[in-house]
A and B are shown apart, each in its own frame.
Chain A
């Protein structure tokens, strides 16, 4: 019910914003939705699975570069480029997950960071695709030759659709048996294994799926910016993604998405006020960390529940 309301509000946003002469906010919202996809995917392994991945930006970057490399080689069709992006990112997640999932806790954090860094340095070295300078995409991905996301609104609705689909998929998975196995693996892997579940395989599947969705976000980001660069994969971006998830509320899917929207919107608003907006951002992040234990979404739903009583 709540989800439907949010979807409706987001769908109505572009005409409303246009009417308020704030039509440019549609571009910012598109970007927020892209990061919401990534944040929700990260929440699935981090909040749900208890696996704090510090290399998630690499999945986004790989997805973005899949689109970029395809473009550079003449392939513009979204029906090829987007699945390619998801496959490449998901494959990278599966491969690195094989190694990373043998560890736990802070070691898992550091191994995922290491893999993220390796992807970053590898892509920076690819001078054929611009290296550190990155690559411009002169047109966005097409659909059967038709420029389906060339305009501001079409791209927004594509991002919204992808975000809604991601949310629905992860929600359904989370409610399924698979989701319960992931929960159990987070809470007590030993018991799950004793009960006969292949914990490692379930976690790997979740990790790979999460990576693939990160790749989807990356493919959309490449189209949004019409540009790809290794900076998409830096560990700072991975850190920012974690902040988005935790700020919004690591316990819920919607919380993570909300966190992404808040962070992207906040950056835009604060930067318009002062050059030193990071201090304000840091204070907000700190306040949420100290006083809003369930993240912003958790605190808001709690407050709403109390109001209703």
Chain B
């Protein structure tokens, strides 16, 4: 494999990783601060995509669709928090799993009922819809570079918020010990609402950014949810920095693994067996990575909680 091809694969892995980061960031905050397992987070990503398609259909303008979709995703996240999530903070994880599983069913089937089961599309904004030549014969889409830029900007923004603002300080403290900061006078309920709203918005934003590239369909949140959980487990629950590093790792391992696995398998096995083994191993790689990290550092790479 040539060096330029490797560079392109790396960019692709980076793009996938940053998309995963946007989703995992909200998930890890919610889990870290509120000890809340939110299986419906993938559905919030899906909702963002559908909202963008809906608003684009009414405005015809990508920027407006993006802004409206983000606001609507935020609103939906806050409504869910008030109606459902709030009752589950003190409950055991299993109850949270059950409730969020129910919400997934409702949101997914609701999207299917409202928009139909077929994949929908969202056109990219005009100025970002071209491609730049990265190597001879391959043009890299500008939109994918935009995803990378947006992901990096969001990461920077989150870091600034967590490290430099009061809210961020509360989030960090809350991830460490939420009961304690409540005792210290912080409005924990408002903090939780803020964290949930932020998580919902980030997931929705990821959905909007991904929509022009991937098909918008009711089950699109499923695969992404599992990968997001893998990311936060590798990175360490509650840690934004961990989610960032882990997301990049997962994105790169998955992308590079998929493109190399069959070639590597052919070195050891017959072509027919390699065609079977290669993709199977590629699919497993991310989980093997996670298992390896858990073996070496069971708390993840950058655990937010002490110990």
Contact = CB atoms under 8 A, between A and B. Distances in A.
Q: Does B associate with A?
A: yes
A121 B110 contact: no
Contacts, number: 122
Interface of A: 46, 52, 99, 102-103, 106-107, 110-111, 113-115, 117-118, 121-122, 124-127, 131, 235-236, 239, 242-243, 246-247, 250, 276, 278-279, 281-290, 293
A283 B106 contact: yes
Given A110-B229, A125-B276, A279-B109, A286 B102 contact: yes
Interface residues of B, number: 46
Contacts of A102: 295, 298
Contact of B103 (A117, A118, A282): A282
A28 to B, nearest CB: 20
A83 B92 CA distance: 36
DSSP class of B's interface residues: helix, strand, loop or mixed?
Answer: helix
Most chain B beta-carbon neighbours within 10 Å: one of A102, A110, A115: A110
DSSP class of A's interface residues: helix, strand, loop or mixed?
Answer: helix
Contact of A114 (B98, B279, B291): B291
A110 B247 CA distance: 16
Interface of B: 31, 37, 39, 84, 87-88, 91, 93-95, 97-99, 101-110, 112-113, 222, 226, 229-230, 233, 237, 276-277, 279-280, 283-284, 287-288, 290-291, 294-295, 298-300
A203 B290 CA distance: 22
A226 B104 CA distance: 31
B171 to A, nearest CB: 19
B291 A99 contact: yes
Nearest to B108: A278
A285 B280 contact: no
B277 A282 contact: no
22 contacts: A99-B291, A102-B298, A107-B298, A110-B233, A110-B290, A110-B294, A111-B291, A115-B287, A117-B226, A118-B284, A121-B284, A235-B226, A243-B97, A243-B98, A243-B101, A246-B95, A276-B109, A279-B109, A282-B109, A289-B102, A290-B87, A293-B91
